[in-house]
Amino acid sequence: MRLNVNGKTYEVDVEPGMPLLWALREFIGLTGTKYGCGIEQCGACSVHINGEVRRSCSIPVSTVRPADRIVTIEGLSRDSSHPVQKAWVELDVPQCGYCQSGQIMAAAALLAKNPQPTDKDIDEAMTNICRCGTFQQVRAAIHAAAKA
């Protein structure tokens, strides 16, 4: 199968039903996208497909077309200069950090659609789960990134 990931084309020889998450991690080697729950609930596996935030643990790789543009956390920016990534660092958002790549991808997708979100907009869009409970810091970082 052919996948367009972070602007590069990859050929992967995998079973059609394999979740996109595992193709990204195990066959392409992009391990920034995390496995959390495997049932599309936690958001640790969030990537962008054609600009939409999607949970890659439940997307069979066979449903991704060669023309689809997949962006992982590694492709958001080459040097962590995306406004969301910078705000995450400046506001010291993560505690354990496990969910952060998914949180950042969800926040970046939100800001791409809504450059000045309200708290309500953020609460509705950010459905990722953080066991450490850094939801207030996430909200603050999204507001900071919106001002950048």
Q: Quick one: pLDDT at residue 70?
A: 98
Query: In the structure, what pLDDT confidence band is assigned to residue 128 with cuts at 50, 70 and 90?
Result: very high
Question: Over the range 23-54, which residues count as b (16 or more CB within 10 Å of their CB) and which as e?
Answer: bbbebbebebbbbbeeebebbbbbbbbeeebb
Cα gap 129→75, rounded to integer Å: 22
Task: State the pLDDT at residue 25.
Answer: 98
- What ranges do the domains of the chain cover? 2-75, 83-147
* pLDDT tens-digit readout, 58-111: 999 999 999 999 999 999 999 999 999 999 999 999 999 999 999 999 999 999
Q: What is the pTM of this model?
A: 0.95
Q: Which CATH architecture has domain 83-147?
A: Orthogonal Bundle (1.10)
Q: Does domain 2-75 have CATH number 3.10.20.30?
A: yes
Taking the C-alpha atoms of residue 38 and residue 36, their distance in angstroms, rounded to an integer, is 6
The pLDDT value recorded for residue 29 is 98
Mean per-residue pLDDT of the chain: 97
At 27, the pLDDT band (50, 70, 90 cuts) reads very high
Q: Output the pLDDT for position 127.
A: 96
Please give the single-letter amino acid code of residue 15.
Answer: E
Cβ–Cβ < 8 Å for 54, 39: no
Interacting residues of 135 by C-beta distance below 8 A, sequence separation 6+: 126
The Cα 66–Cα 62 span in angstroms is 10
